Structure 1
Amino acid sequence: NDKTDKLRLSNEQYEILAQSSNLIAFQWHMKEGWLHFASNRETEFDWPDRIEDFLLKVRESKIIREESKHIIYRCEQQAIQGISHQKYEILLPSKNRTEKWYELQMTMQMDREGNPLLGIGFLSNIMKQKEKTENLEEQLQMDSFTRLLNKAAIEERGMQMIERLKAEEELYMLITDIDNFKAINDRFGHICGDHVLKTIADTMNRLAPENMETGRIGGDEFMALFSGGQGKEIIKNYARQLLEGTSEVLWAKEELPVSLSIGIASAAPGEMTYAQLYTAADKAMYIAKNDGKGKIVFA
């Protein structure tokens, strides 16, 4: 009949469009349960061109993530509810089981009774867009000058870390400030001051153990966060190494009078908020500064 002819023409148009682009066309017959891919699926997948009992195969699959399965189930439910067009981002196993991000778009065609009959759609590889987005997000989290995490980013990490602490863990926060930084700027110039800031940042990154987060939270103020086994010893050793590593900063072959005041505080699960931990570490840092500078103080 006319409706079947129109449907067939639509399918042929989708196949032609898929062949002339990087879109992978598919047809999902809701009533009969099969899913059919256009021939160019081989560029991305090693799946057969036709999958019978598609939803059953999805449920039984051990290589498709649960979150991705739920997106496929949602497609079916939305179609049943009469949603004509759907669009999702979905992570799927491609060739050699390498996972990639795809954009899934599907338009439903209904039967005479208004029930979902055939879903016609596309999968398009969006890995490049995803990588660009992730790189942009990473750039937005970085302090552009020192390449450490910026204040907003390290505060967010800290709040996440304190919320996720396990029963036997503590979160350690180290706050450090460069002693007499204004005097260094006044005596040697701001270019020298910039050199000192970058040297401190590089040293913090170089000495940081695995799973430690480091960031710049102010002009010459920095932070490190660590949680895990033997946390107190690790943060103490790190602080000592920082003092030693920044005591011989050179500028034009001249040793600069650089020292750090370091405050450290810790919190067990539920013991205090991130803001309270920050206040404790900051107070400890100012105690170190007022007690002669170049020292480490535990809250």
Structure 2
Amino acid sequence: MDTAIDAVGVTKSYGAVRVLDGVDLAVRTGSVSALLGPNGAGKTTMVRILATLSPPDSGRARVAGYDVERERGGVRRSISLTGQYAALDDLQTGAENLRMMARLAGMSSRGARVRAAELLGQFDLAEAAGRRVGTYSGGMRRRLDIAAGLVGDPSVVFLDEPTTGLDVRSRQTMWSVISELARSGVTVLLTTQYLEEADRLAGRVAVLDGGRIVAEGTPAELKQRVGGGRVDLTASGPAAFGRLRAALGPRALHADAGDFGLSVATDGTAAEVRRLLHQLDPACDLVERFAVHEPSMDDVFISLTGGTTASVADARARESGGTGGEAARV
């Protein structure tokens, strides 16, 4: 597999607290992968190591072919890192922000203007190019922040909680932007607590909890692993409800005589659902309607992770000299 990110046995401690405990992570070139986990799981710490902002205590990692410790310059020339909060100058316009970034990246004045115009158009910000960033909505600021990170045409993009604080519409717009990045050949690693986001965007998901990868695979593979599929049945009346409940016996996961509802575990395949309905209602007069519930990424998250690890968050806050807030996100 052609990997843009390859980490093996990465560890990191803050004081006596082990934040990362032997993390292995491989991300295929040109893909979108998600790193999921509760607060304190180690997500942002892992991204900081991959972006050369913090050295690992042990283990090794390569990004875009460069070693994150011995070849930091090569890594930094190849990546873009966008955090939870936009790193923009509110007093400058959107175009001025991008031109400034381009000039800092070594472009000529003309090249900076051309690149800024390209990115403003790509991120649907051309009409707002002359407005001060302080007047932008949250979604516009996030798009501009990602655009600023793409000035130098990075091959790998780290998005740390890219849609935090955005409304539903702005979040969906950001999803389109991220999908377009992958289609253009850019490798994207995103950390997120929005499970729908990982399900929709990521080809592969790694679940990080307690400093370790506890599961990894496609969203479909992870859902299948945790199970939880079921069929919800609504009986046609009280008599039908009684017959269905008796037929299910201990297999019934849920039974409510008030709304004639019952639930039974299933793998969700068409063959299994047909077999179940034929077994329970061969005359087709007991079940008024049914719905198949497949496992969600919520089910995956709840099944595979524990609660927020406050001790790790506190250790990270102490290490960075803070008392909470952003420092609690490790």
| TM-score (normalizing by structure 1) | 0.29
Q: With CA pairs under 8 Å and 6+ residues apart, which has the higher RCO, 1 or 2?
A: 2
| TM-score (normalizing by structure 2) | 0.27
Instruction: Find the structure with the greater CA-based Rg.
Output: 1
